[in-house]
Amino acid sequence: MPSPECRLGHRAQNGKVIAHSRRSLRRGGRDNSPQPPQGRLRSLFRPRSVAGQVFLLQVVIGVLIVAAALIALVLQARDDSTKDARERSLGIAETLAYAPDTLKAMTGPDPTKVLQPVAQKIMKGADVDLVVIYSKTGIRYTHANPAFIGKPVLGPRKPPHSAVTHVLRTTQGRSVVSYVPVTRPGGEAVGTVAVAITVQRVESTAGRQLPVLLGTAGGALALAAGGTALVSRRLLRQTHGLGPAEMTRMYDHHDAVLHAVREGVLIVGGDGRLLLANDEAQRLLELPPDAEGHKVTDLPLDAGIAELLTSERTASDEVHLTADRLLAVNKRPTAPYGGYAGSVVTLRDTTELRALSGRAEVARERLKLLYDAGVEIGTTLDVSRTAQEMADVAVPGFADVVTVELAEGVLRGQEPTGAIGEVRRAAVRGRSGNPPMSGVGSRLSFAPSTPQARCAETGRGVLVADLAAAREWRTTDPDRARRLLEGGIHSLIAVPLRARGMVLGVVDFWRCRQGEPFDEEDVPFAEELAARAAVALDNARRYTREHTMAVTLQRSLLPRALPELGALEVAYRYLPAQAGVGGDWFDVIELSGARVALVVGDVVGHGLHAAATMGRLRIAVHNFSTLDLAPDELLGRLDDLVARLDRDGEAGGGEEGLTGATCLYAVYDPSSGACSLARAGHPPPALVHPDGTVTFPALPAGPPLGLGGLPFEATELRLHEGSRLVLYTDGLVEDRERDIGTGLELLSAALAHPDRSPEQTCQAVLDALPPDRASDDIALLVARTRVLDPSLVADWDVPRDPAAVSRVRADVARQLKDWGLEDASFTTELVLSELVTNAIRYGSDPIHVRLLRDRKLICEVSDGSSTSPHLRYAATTDEGGRGLFLIARYAERWGTRYTPTGKVIWTEQPLHGGAAPFDGPSDEDLLDQWSDDTL
């Protein structure tokens, strides 16, 4: 247990508390006026004072350190002296023993005479005690006392095998003696050299270092005294001059107050560490016993409490919910009151406010749930998705299970009929994985007595707090009621989904066993939540209706089926944009002479206006194509039409214009393999050659429709059989995440497979360029070319001679016989006779006849005149004007197309030779138009 002075070292930082204690002590009668400097210095070293105790402790520690250092010095000096004596004696002995003169003297006639002076000289010069040289029998040759020369030695007499050293205790103290044998060159020992030295001769280190050690100890003691004085002064200043008794008394007083009050007290330092926590604070915050000294952020505190303790802001009765308690927290800084940087926090348990706080928390959660509903419901304009979003928002924040039932017409975008009869479940969401409810898409019907029917009738929410006790609800649909009750459902709120005065459906909020049953306070919230969802559902319904109308209009304007063609094998794909229908369109149009026109266009924008505009342009292209116009001429007329429609729209009051529409028009002739193309601001087509090579023909771009200006230019390509012509809109190759260059590369890679059919090509293109998040419509048209066999084409030049008509009939009859079409010979001869006769009579050179055998039998008569025949009823007196009636009667189709050199009159008739259905005059009526004289 630390002393009171030590514990108060960190607690006395609160200057306000200390000052209060000083005032209380003064009121007790004690005089704490400042002492004079002399008395204060004398009191520093009193044994009962803190400074005296510290000083005494430092003196004892200094003495012990000096004593230990002295003992260590003596021991170290002793070891060093013995080692030095050993090395000196051994070195002198080895030097003397190994000297050649020593061996010579010891083997000479008088060893003493030679060696004694040397030994004396060594003892004086090397400062050794004794140098003795004796024979191998132990007779001394030298000695410090001449009286001992010639006498045997007292120790070992035989020479040692090698140099040895012994430490002996003599009358003069510890001595070190080294013995070294004197040997002949062959190794025979002739004597021994012994050198002795007293250890006392080398013990000088301790004597030199002892004054230094004692001086250092004295200096340390002086520093300790000075340091003690400084620490004591600082301690007196921090404790405001209080002595140990006063400090002990103040500590006891504060300890009793802090730990006895029923209010938590915390002191937090400026570095965020907890300096003090009384018992009540530890109980309220459930702090560990060793919490003091740790950072507040490292303690297991509620996030709100921890944030308040570490922040610099003050607080007054701030309520925090922590450890299942409601705490009123007050916080004030300590610095303004004389203490160090930090804060004092008091805690008061206000658990009695729990009920009120709980209701406030419920209200806050409800407001948050309504906010989430406004954000998360209606993110899409899909009715089913919006219904599911509502169910997702309400579970589990408000209900355990939510079901949404909508009228059938609402799901299709239609106006609700009013009464809720048969509905379809649009959404289900439960807290658990499989709530005991019918799945999405199931049909339900509510009897008039059910809560759902009653809420739809009254327009207000209906509460059933106890479903088990609601007999009327249970008897209406016993099986469904039993299934719900067995699933744990115990209460229900049914709320109508009303928008603009119409009931779109019903939303049911259910609670299970683990939740409290609904009460009357929950009904207004359920109605508010349903009202917000109903607005989003109505918006989605209206969008669905408009979208359905636009899709219906667009589908009615786009081709529903492609015609059967002999010239091309065609496949297509049309995908509307994610935002709805747009203005992309395509078409395949049969032309005369087995030719086929391919059209792809794009109208800027989306919605009904774009779809209607697309339909107008498609009809216009159909009408212009019946004139057999060249692609550049057709686009020119279409451009004039768009400009005129734009002017009419502006004059009519701000209707969206058509300017910006693009179009690509191509005409393919299977008899020659020629393809003529022109475009108005549209992406160029892709051409896949029979070997799989993909190119993008460089067609003149031309401006978009409606801008006027430069005329359009047509380009003619020669296509081999098996080539694929790919027409598309820009939505296929370009979007926000991919530029058109990358799109064309992906398209080229998808088309480079010559073995694929047009249908397979369409699928491969969409796989390579997935339209999952397409922001624009996509129209794709793939046509694989076929070329008519030359044997199926026959032509003749006809001179301007009426007699040539019979020759033409004969040539045609032979050709039809070769083709196996004898049944069509009569009709064909009749048609060609009329056409050739008209060309000879009213046309000009050159006159040419061509016969094509495709899916139909095609007859063409061309001449250099630009006049076109017209079908009319001939008067009784007219000699001509009846031939076109015969042509119209026996041909399925006929018409005129103009060429740069004239015109071509063509007919089509079935291969089996029968005549086409004709609603005009009968054969007898036609013959009656000729008199007997003319026949």
**Which residues 6+ apart lie within 8 Å of 248 measured at CB?**
4
Give mean pLDDT, residues 198-216. Answer: 65
Two tokens at 734? 């370009």
pLDDT at 198: 81
Give mean pLDDT, residues 410-436. Answer: 79
Cis, peptide link before residue 846, omega less than 30° from 0 = yes
Residue 397 has pLDDT above 80, yes or no: yes
Residue 94 has pLDDT above 60, yes or no: yes
Two tokens at 484? 């719900």
Cis, peptide link before residue 670, omega less than 30° from 0 = no
pLDDT at 40: 47
- Please list the alpha-helical segments (H only) found in 477-607: 478-486, 522-557
Give pLDDT tens digits for 888-922: 777 888 888 888 888 888 888 888 755 555 455 55
Q: In what order do the strands lie in the sheet with 462-464?
A: 443-445, 422-430, 401-407, 502-511, 491-499, 462-464
Give pLDDT tens digits for 13-70: 344 333 444 444 344 334 444 444 444 445 544 555 666 676 677 777 777 777 777 7
Give mean pLDDT, residues 526-543. Answer: 89
Give mean pLDDT, residues 845-853. Answer: 90
Angle subtended by helix axes 205-238 and 37-44, to nearest 10: 130
* Gap between the Cα atoms of 105 and 112, Å rounded: 8
228 or 51: whose pLDDT is higher?
228
Q: Are 388 and 429 in contact (CB under 8 A)?
A: yes
**Sign of torsion, CA 17 18 19 22?**
positive
pLDDT at 600: 94
Give mean pLDDT, residues 644-655. Answer: 68
pLDDT at 820: 87
Residue 714 has pLDDT above 90, yes or no: yes
* Gap between the Cα atoms of 285 and 325, Å rounded: 9
* Gap between the Cα atoms of 843 and 864, Å rounded: 7
Give pLDDT tens digits for 656-685: 556 678 999 999 999 889 999 999 989 999
Cis, peptide link before residue 396, omega less than 30° from 0 = yes
Q: Which residue has the tokens 């129209």?
A: 779
Q: Are 705 and 695 in contact (CB under 8 A)?
A: no
pLDDT at 171: 67
Per DSSP, what are the bridge partners of residue 815?
none
Amino acid at 420: I
Give pLDDT tens digits for 554-565: 777 777 777 888
User: Around Cβ 443, how many Cβ atoms within 10 Å?
Assistant: 11
Q: Indicate the range of 20-29, 187-196, 237-246, 388-397 predicted with least confidence.
A: 20-29
* Gap between the Cα atoms of 263 and 468, Å rounded: 49
Mean pLDDT of the chain, nearest integer: 79
Radius of gyration for the chain, computed over Cα atoms and rounded to the nearest angstrom: 60
Give pLDDT tens digits for 347-361: 887 776 565 555 666
Q: In what order do the strands lie in the sheet with 715-718?
A: 585-590, 596-602, 662-669, 674-680, 715-718
**Which residues 6+ apart lie within 8 Å of 412 measured at CB?**
544, 545, 548
Two tokens at 337? 């009151």
Q: Are 834 and 884 in contact (CB under 8 A)?
A: yes
* pTM of structure: 0.53
* Gap between the Cα atoms of 732 and 745, Å rounded: 12
- Where residue 850 falls among pLDDT bands split at 50, 70, 90? very high
- Where residue 649 falls among pLDDT bands split at 50, 70, 90? low
Rounded to 5 degrees, φ, ψ at 695 are: -130, 160
Give pLDDT tens digits for 784-807: 999 988 888 999 998 988 888 888
- Where residue 10 falls among pLDDT bands split at 50, 70, 90? very low
What Å distances lie between residue 842 and 845, 887, 891, CA to CA? 10, 17, 22
Q: Indicate the range of 451-455, 546-550, 601-605 predicted with least confidence.
A: 546-550
Give mean pLDDT, residues 154-166. Answer: 78
What b/e sequence results for 275-298 when a residue is b if at least 16 CB atoms lie within 10 Å of its CB, and e otherwise? Answer: bbbbebbbbbbebeeebbeeebee
Give pLDDT tens digits for 717-726: 999 999 999 9
Per DSSP, what are the bridge partners of residue 175?
168, 198
What Å distances lie between residue 129 and 119, 799, 840, 878, CA to CA? 11, 163, 165, 176
Give mean pLDDT, residues 159-188. Answer: 80
Q: Are 402 and 429 in contact (CB under 8 A)?
A: yes
**Which residues 6+ apart lie within 8 Å of 95 measured at CB?**
none
pLDDT at 587: 92
> Roughly how many angstroms between the first and final C-alpha of the chain, as a whole number?
147
Give mean pLDDT, residues 865-891. Answer: 66
What Å distances lie between residue 667 and 203, 573, 588, 622, 861, CA to CA? 126, 20, 10, 13, 20
H helix or E strand, kind and range, residue 760: helix 758-768
User: Around Cβ 328, how many Cβ atoms within 10 Å?
Assistant: 17
pLDDT at 581: 67
Q: Are 906 and 897 in contact (CB under 8 A)?
A: yes
pLDDT at 677: 95
471 or 112: whose pLDDT is higher?
112
pLDDT at 313: 86
